[in-house]
A and B are shown apart, each in its own frame.
Chain A
Amino acid sequence: MTAFGKLIRTTAFRLTLAYLFLFALFAAFLLGFFAWNTRRMVTEQITETVNAETTELDDEFARGGLRGLVYAIENRALRPGANLYLVTSTTGQAIAGNVGSLAPGVMGQLGWNETVYRRLDEQASNDHRALVKVSDVPGGLRLLVGRDLEERRRLFMIVASAAQFSVLVVIVLGLAGGVFVARRVLRRIDAMTGTAQRIMAGNLSERLPVGRSGDEIDRLADNLNAMLERIEALMSGLKEVSDNIAHDLKTPLTRLRNRSEEALASAKNESEYRAALERTIEESDGLIRTFNALLMIARAESGQARDNMTNFDAADVAAGIQDLYEPLAEDKGLILRATAAETPVHGNRELISQALANLVENAIKYGPPNMAAKGPTAGPDISIEARRDGERILLSVADRGPGIPEADRQRAIERFVRLEASRTQPGSGLGLSLASAVATLHGGELHLDDNKPGLKVTISIPVAPLAAGTASRSRETGLVNEAPAVEHRMA
């Protein structure tokens, strides 16, 4: 498309053309109306003058007869810019006046008429037009009084040329304005299009140019920029996640590959091959676990796991997880204990169990025994707690390990984040993010608190809707608060 073609296709230019047409029409109408009114006014003025003179001349005739009339006419005809006067006899013979010639038949017609004439003192053949009134004078005479129309014509000509000129000016200015506006808009749109193309080509950090006028295009650009900002944030989040996935999946994949390669290159006998293959399988199992955890988080986050929600007591889950992990904890010299009160929840039992299991595994992994504090009266190293706080169910796992500094707590929930201190520990680093996703799925959230010392992770979710009613009753009787906590402790 040529530049001109682009220009005349712009909305601004088309709008300008439409307005131009309307304005020209309006100007023409206005001037036409003005011209017509001027003409009418001039004609009225002439009519009045002519009527007045006719009356005066009639009076002169009544007073001084034909002589008086002729005298008055001769007198008036001598004045500069005089009107036209003519008195004729019954035979049409001119008796007095300043009119040399007239269009034929004018004197035969009484009343108003427009005619071509020539003055007596004029030689040239240029005719003028005049508005004349012919009236009867007693004694068979006819009196013509008229006024030249040159003035009226000139006025009309002035108006007409003004009209032409102004329409021309409107058209020229309008076109120029249209081109100017269209080019301005076009330039800005072109700039935006260019930016958009660069963004599409992959440079997400580009922003649309925003002018200072705050007009609709600027507002649009502003909004589009805000949208780009959001998209860029999402993209970088996505990139971060995929970078993390790449890291945490590629690292074991690299190890896996290296080991296989090494085995191929240097294994000497069957048992060495066997050992290498076994390690390979172990490594791929770890990969599968990481992958499953990721899928699980994705499902929990997208709300797909809402199908299998049932009502159950979270205390059972806490007791079950304690039962499963207690021997493992003890092997590491840790005491794992569960304290659980009646805690009705509506949710996915499997997912909540898994979240809790992850938290306990983390606690066992990262919360080494606090040997110094251990005495005969020492509490558990890791405690699982299920309790009810009003309309919330709190499931927490607390350890006495190094904890997480407050500044790092939010980051710790993010996927794959293993705080530097724990980089060397095995694991996918997805435990806290899974627990967080599960909490979100159940309409709750995950809190990390200082256990002084240690870390306390709490999954806070709403109490089961059906149990919410019975809760108030049991609170009245103090059942919830006073019921002794069931302790599961295995020596």
Chain B
Amino acid sequence: MRLLIIEDDRESADYLMKAFREAGHVADHAADGEEGLALADSGDYNVLVVDRMLPKRDGLSLIGELREKGDQTPVLILSALGQVDDRIRGLRAGGDDYLPKPYSFAELLARVEVLSRRTGGPAEETTYRVGDLELDRLSHRVVRGQDELTLQPREFRLLEYLMKHAGQVVTRTMLLENVWDYHFDPQTNVIDVHISRLRSKIDKGQEKPLLHTIRGAGYMIRDGVR
């Protein structure tokens, strides 16, 4: 995956470049809004990671400019302004995701990977399949091997989201945002409890577990071991 990081803080930028490279991605860096816009125009990137406050041209206006030109490259906005209103403003300006600072790199990586998969990925399928687990989005049926599983509506939505991003790390906040549509930080491990319930339904008694916990990052549903 090719990434463009537009971030004016040298140290953060270096850290991100290094971390993305270690995760197996190619990352370019621009230190201000104008340079970022020029690079985004010329290069072919899968995802842009844009700091909201940049010298010369701020992040939101940069995204607006790109979208005006018809550039639909997914953009993740990084910002010190972490409140709900700021997030909404960022998404309205054309951003695809919004991550408040300070963030964990695992969270950023998971979100960037999900964003990159969106472009050119398979269109909304009606059936998701991971190993012998099958989820039918139309009939709301979930089958593991030969057994049909009975899931609560929210368990179904949770599994649906995980399977949509099968093979990708999905963080707790991503689940909270996408399955429950909440953007606050719960002080407790609510998501873990939901996951463990779901896990007990789909993986219990199975030889090969599908729902994996990725330490320090979140969860992933995938066939086979890591």
Instruction: Decide yes or no whether B118 CB sits under 8 A from chain A.
Output: no
* B185 to chain A: closest residue by CB: A289
- B189 at the binding interface (Cβ < 8 Å): yes
State the main secondary structure of chain A at its contact with B: helix
Given A305-B85, A327-B194: A350 and B104 within 8 A (CB)? no
B190 engages A325 (CB within 8 Å): yes
Q: Which residues of A contact B102 (CB under 8 A)?
A: 284, 288
In this complex, the interface size class of chain B, counting residues with CB under 8 Å from chain A, is 20 to 34
Q: In the bound complex, do residue B180 and residue A350 qualify as a contact, i.e. CB atoms below 8 Å apart? A: no
Give the interface of B toward A (CB within 8 A). Answer: 82-85, 88, 100, 102, 104, 152, 154, 180-190, 193-194, 197, 216
Cβ–Cβ contact B188 & A295, under 8 A: no
**Is A44 an interface residue when CB atoms closer than 8 A count as contact?**
no
A357 at the interface (CB under 8 A from B): yes
The CA-CA distance from A281 to B104 in the complex, in Å, is 9
Least CB distance from B210 to A in Å reads 20
Tell me whether B187 and A428 are in contact (CB under 8 A). yes
Task: List B contacts of A32 (CB < 8 A).
Answer: none
CB pair B186 A490 closer than 8 Å: no
Chain A positions 271-329 with a Cβ under 8 Å from a chain B Cβ: 278, 281, 284-285, 288-289, 292, 295-296, 299, 304-305, 307-308, 320, 323-325, 327-328
Which chain A residues in 426-471 approach chain B with CB under 8 Å?
Answer: 426-428, 431
SS class of chain B's interface: helix, strand, loop or mixed?
loop
Residues of chain A lying within 8 A (CB to CB) of residue B84: 305, 308, 348, 350-351
**Does the CB pair A327–B187 fall under 8 Å?**
no
**Apart from A353-B184, A361-B186: 10 A-B pairs, beta carbons within 8 A:** A278-B216, A285-B104, A292-B100, A295-B82, A305-B83, A324-B180, A324-B186, A324-B194, A328-B190, A357-B182
The answer for the CA separation of A307 and B152 in the assembled complex, in Å, is 35
Q: How far is the CA of A295 from the CA of B186 in the complex (A)?
A: 15
Cα–Cα distance between A298 and B193 once the two chains are bound (Å): 31
Most buried by A among B84, B197, B216: B84
28 intermolecular pairs with C-beta atoms under 8 Å apart: A278-B216, A288-B102, A288-B185, A289-B187, A292-B100, A295-B82, A305-B85, A307-B85, A308-B84, A320-B180, A320-B182, A324-B180, A324-B182, A324-B194, A325-B190, A327-B197, A328-B188, A328-B189, A328-B190, A350-B84, A351-B84, A354-B184, A357-B182, A361-B186, A361-B187, A361-B188, A364-B188, A428-B187
8 pairs of A and B residues whose beta carbons are closest in the complex:
A354-B184, A327-B193, A350-B84, A328-B193, A328-B190, A289-B185, A307-B85, A361-B188
Contacts of B184 in A (CB 8 A): 350, 353-354, 357
A331 within 8 A of B: yes
Residues of B within 8 A of A289 (CB): 185, 187
Chain A residue contacts of B180, Cβ below 8 A: 320, 323-324
Q: Which of A296, A327, A351 has the most CB of B within 10 A?
A: A327
Name the A residues within 8 Å of B104 (CB-CB): 281, 285
